[in-house]
A and B are shown apart, each in its own frame.
Chain A
Amino acid sequence: MMAEQSRPGNSKAGRRQGRRGSGRREAFWGQLTNWLDDWLAINPDGTVTAFSGKVELGTGVRTALAQIIAEELDVPFGRVHMVMGDTERTPDEGYTAGSMTISTSGTALRNAAAEARRFLLELAAKRLDARLDELTVQDGLISLIRHPQQKTTYAELMGGKAFNLEVTGNAPLKDPKTYTIVGTSTPREDIPRKVAGQPSFIQDLRVPGMLHGRLVRPPSAGAELILMDESSVAELPGLVKVVQRGNFIAVVAEREEQAILAAQHLKVKWREKTALPPMQDLYTTLRSQPTQDTLLVEQGDYETAFKQAARQLHAAYFQPYHAHASIGPSCAVADVKEDQITVWASTPGPYPLSGALAQLLDVPAEKVHLIHVEGAGSYGQNGSDDAAADAVILSQAVGRPVRVQWSRQDEFVWEPKAPAMVMEVHGGLDTQGNVVAWDYHVWSPSHVARARSPEQLVAGQLLSGQAAPQFGFSFGAERNAPTNYSFPNQRVTVHYLADSPLRASSFRSLGGAENTFANESFMDELAAAAGVDALEFRIRYLADARAREVLKAAAEKAGWEARPSLHGKKKKFAQGRGVAFAWYENDQAIVACVAHVQVDTTSGAVRVKRMVVAHDCGLIINQDGLKNQIEGNTIQSLSRALKEEVKFDEWRVKSVDWDSYPILTFSEVPEVEIVLINRPDQPALGAGEPSTITTAAAVANAIFDATGARLRQIPFTPERVKAALC
């Protein structure tokens, strides 16, 4: 891929005709604009360029957004070209996160396309001397219904000009029943390129005159540089510069393999300090720190109901740190010049990152042109923002464009992790087995610590010698802490820790997966205690018809046989099934999951054979794209539940490669069957995360059904299963 500078005449500033962006780069979701030209351009060749401040993170959302525009504007899908995440060309839509791209950027683009269509139809009516209701549009061609030879095109009407219009939001939207593009399995536009080896990723980007940078990171966070012996690499070929500022060290070389060699050979001495709790004490550490508490739900009189309950149950659940473990370690390219700084990065937040990099270099934010280029799947915040910061520092130091490629170890050690959490639940059953009291607590650091300032970037911390600041605000651990069950007496409390032993930030669903693991495991424990079928038990507390339908759809597809959980079976290979339900963020997509497992009771090994997922995310934009997301969520979350745990000792992270952080392999992947419930009359909701949250509980519940062993700590390794079997 050759670097593409923004084309003249197609820059945001150009389209805005002097309405240059305000430079406000603070809000998490960006600064939305109502200016139609910020979103859409009709080109003289009849193609449409659409501008989204969101970015492609490997989910296929670029295709889904193009479908939405093509549909609403009545142009063929292939004529829509998306420009995404470029601070000189696209709107500021903050971060691509929280499964929000379809509902936010998708809605904005849909309204923009509707506005454009109305405007073009009005122009056409004048030109063709007709009334609006006499016109029809197909493939960007407007004609008279009765005299199809009288026609004009979008491109003719626009004549290469801008719209110069606000998006009012009141332009008529198409009736979803008439859709021909949205809702179909439009093939992804990127797959043909990727399977042919055409440049597609940030790792494939080449800028003329580019040098290669590799990092020499300290062995652990907080380590201090004692000594660096530059002479140790002086003789190495191709070395351009050893860059050392504070604890930030990197080498820059002409060729990539030369940079790797220099990074390996550079003699450096560090003073490390014990900074982490012993790993076996992680959960007691999380439970014993001061917290900031918020009562999220308080209904009825929990205390009295719990005291009076016929049976009282308690359970604690544990979530370790997880790595995003992107298959391609982070990479970025920067070209720092006196008058202009260009950065290519696979960041989830081009505008906020451009602000942070400007602060790092001490230049005005407008000077930093950040261009998003797709990276390997990131599922939240991996090292991509940090790599961009490394690249600007190195480019500034050598005065040439520099490509920084993180090593596998850099990525595992330095990327922010999904935080470790502790969840505790207390529940009371009456004599009939009804849930009369429910008390939920979660202890967690914030799940969001985005790179909005230099201190939140690894390079910024190494330059200043300062540790990462405490979380400025806490977010994410409350996600799906409340259930959608109608318990009469309940409390839900989130206990936020001020800090996280390991650097933490967002991973797919934030706390949604962990809270649902605890909630849905505990529901299963209550159902088993009450001697009630786990599916029936859940339906009792679900008033909403749509929610019930999802749960029933999963059960039907799975061939769910109503019975209380069987356990205590003494077979060598014990079979079981488990169910879990969740309403993402309590009002977004609805998911139900059934897992079928086989447990080797001698070794404790769990084999997940089949997963059934039912999914309702309102109007479906792309059937196959949605299935792809659900399959991916299911397999990735299964990997996390069965195998994943970031290991560390008192000094450093010990999960540094695929041997020390194994993920699910082909031989371990189960069949995944999906039931999609389409709701064309309902808003389209995001699907990037919801089906990630039910897997762990469904599997834990299936292990219990098979063996009677209750797994309350992720991952469900053979050792833990064996221990729980005794």
Chain B
Amino acid sequence: MSGEIVLIVNGKPHTVQAAPDTPLLYVLRNELGLNGPHFGCAGEKCGACMVLVGAKPVLSCHLPISEIGRSRITTLEGLIEDGELHPVQRAFIEEQATQCGYCVNGMIITTAALLWKNPHPTGEQIRAALDGNLCRCGAHLRILRAVRRAEKLISGEEEE
């Protein structure tokens, strides 16, 4: 335990009491009580622990909190604005795009980041973006459909 670090998570500053080399994941889950990012492999291989740092999807299982500085962290919970689910979250419900749902955090974070950067990705770009996110239940096709639906919800092509 050495010193205080301030993290900006979901729009608010939080003073955390953790060693500077503590991976972000454990601080988010255990100190801030968040449940979106999940422990998956602790080896940056599965995507379950993803969060947004700025607009970038980042694996939080190894990232030391001391390296984050003033960057804004957004978790799955933080995608909700004024009680309204983010269009990507809505799309995942509408497409029933999970089975067990343990990986869904990383899927939604990756999708949100992808659609910010590239509002109309090709099928290949979507698959490539999601290749770092593993799903064991086989919900892949639903997730791909959810990305397409989210694309439409965001661009206003679909009636809300």
Residues on B with C-beta less than 8 A from A206 are: 33
Q: Are B138 and A632 in contact (CB under 8 A)?
A: yes
Which of B1, B41, B126 has a CB less than 8 Å from the CB of A657? B41
**A47 proximal to B (CB < 8 A):** no
Which A306-327 residues sit within 8 Å CB-CB of chain B? 325-327
Q: Are A328 and B102 in contact (CB under 8 A)?
A: yes
Which B74-130 residues sit within 8 Å CB-CB of chain A? 75-77, 80, 85, 89, 92-93, 96-105, 108, 126-128, 130
Task: Kindly specify which of B17-25, B52-60, B151-159 makes contact with the partner chain.
Answer: B17-25
Q: Are A58 and B99 in contact (CB under 8 A)?
A: yes
Q: Are A633 and B99 in contact (CB under 8 A)?
A: no
Q: Are B45 and A658 in contact (CB under 8 A)?
A: yes
| Most chain A CB within a 10 A radius of its CB, from B23, B36, B85 | B36
Given A195-B85, A658-B45, check contact A58 B138 (CB 8 Å): no
Q: Are B77 and A196 in contact (CB under 8 A)?
A: yes
A361 to B142 Cα, complex, angstroms? 44
Q: Are A59 and B99 in contact (CB under 8 A)?
A: yes
Residues of A within 8 A of B (CB-CB), count: 63
**A204 proximal to B (CB < 8 A):** yes
Min CB distance, A331 to chain B, in Å?
A: 8
Which of A187, A376, A635, A658 has a CB less than 8 Å from the CB of B100? A376
Q: In the complex, which residue of chain B has the Cβ closest to the Cβ of A374?
A: B100
Task: Kindly specify which of A546-554, A665-673, A678-686 makes contact with the partner chain.
Answer: A665-673
Which A374-392 residues sit within 8 Å CB-CB of chain B? 374-377, 379
Q: Are B98 and A329 in contact (CB under 8 A)?
A: no
Q: In the complex, which residue of chain A has the Cβ closest to the Cβ of B1?
A: A237
Q: Are A657 and B43 in contact (CB under 8 A)?
A: yes
Given A187-B93, A191-B92, A408-B42, check contact A327 B134 (CB 8 Å): yes
Which of A60, A375, A408, A665 has a CB less than 8 Å from the CB of B43? A408
Residues on A with C-beta less than 8 A from B104 are: 194-195
Q: In the complex, which residue of chain A has the Cβ closest to the Cβ of B129?
A: A666
Residues on B with C-beta less than 8 A from A635 are: 138, 140-141
Residues on B with C-beta less than 8 A from A624 are: 96
Residues on A with C-beta less than 8 A from B7 are: none
The 10 closest A-B pairs by CB, nearest first: A58-B100, A635-B138, A197-B36, A377-B100, A632-B138, A194-B101, A376-B102, A197-B76, A197-B77, A658-B45
**A188 proximal to B (CB < 8 A):** yes
Residues on A with C-beta less than 8 A from B100 are: 57-59, 327, 374-377
Which of B42, B93, B99 has a CB less than 8 Å from the CB of A628? B99
Residues of B within 8 A of A (CB-CB), count: 57
Q: Are B43 and A658 in contact (CB under 8 A)?
A: yes
A187 to B43 Cα, complex, angstroms? 34
A188 to B143 Cα, complex, angstroms? 15
- In addition to A629-B99, A633-B138, A667-B128, 13 A-B residue pairs with Cβ atoms within 8 Å of each other are A58-B101, A188-B98, A191-B92, A195-B98, A326-B136, A328-B102, A329-B40, A407-B42, A408-B41, A628-B96, A657-B43, A666-B127, A666-B130
Residues on B with C-beta less than 8 A from A658 are: 41, 43, 45-46, 134
Residues on A with C-beta less than 8 A from B133 are: 666
Q: Are B99 and A632 in contact (CB under 8 A)?
A: yes
Given A195-B89, A327-B48, A658-B134, check contact A377 B38 (CB 8 Å): no
Given A197-B105, A628-B99, check contact A377 B136 (CB 8 Å): yes
Q: In the complex, which residue of chain A has the Cβ closest to the Cβ of B132?
A: A665
**A160 proximal to B (CB < 8 A):** no
Residues on A with C-beta less than 8 A from B33 are: 206
Q: Are A377 and B137 in contact (CB under 8 A)?
A: yes
**B73 proximal to A (CB < 8 A):** no
**B6 proximal to A (CB < 8 A):** no
Q: Are B23 and A257 in contact (CB under 8 A)?
A: yes
**B139 proximal to A (CB < 8 A):** yes
Min CB distance, A85 to chain B, in Å?
A: 15
Q: Are A195 and B136 in contact (CB under 8 A)?
A: no
Min CB distance, A603 to chain B, in Å?
A: 19
Given A256-B26, A667-B128, check contact A636 B137 (CB 8 Å): yes
Which of A60, A203, A659 has a CB less than 8 Å from the CB of B38? A203
Q: In the complex, which residue of chain A has the Cβ closest to the Cβ of B108?
A: A195
**A200 proximal to B (CB < 8 A):** yes
Residues on A with C-beta less than 8 A from B135 are: 327
Which of A196, A327, A669 has a CB less than 8 Å from the CB of B140? A669
**B68 proximal to A (CB < 8 A):** no
| Most chain B CB within a 10 A radius of its CB, from A377, A633, A669 | A377
Which A583-630 residues sit within 8 Å CB-CB of chain B? 624-625, 628-629
Given A1-B35, A197-B105, check contact A325 B138 (CB 8 Å): no
Min CB distance, A110 to chain B, in Å?
A: 24
A190 to B97 Cα, complex, angstroms? 11
Min CB distance, B81 to chain A, in Å?
A: 12
Given A200-B101, A237-B1, A666-B127, check contact A631 B134 (CB 8 Å): no
Min CB distance, B74 to chain A, in Å?
A: 11
A383 to B94 Cα, complex, angstroms? 32
Q: Are B99 and A666 in contact (CB under 8 A)?
A: no
Given A377-B100, A377-B136, A628-B139, check contact A195 B93 (CB 8 Å): yes
Interface flags for A652-668 (1: CB within 8 Å of B; 0: not) read 00000111000111110
Q: Are B96 and A328 in contact (CB under 8 A)?
A: no
**B131 proximal to A (CB < 8 A):** yes
A669 to B143 Cα, complex, angstroms? 12
Residues on A with C-beta less than 8 A from B96 are: 185, 187-188, 191, 624-625, 628
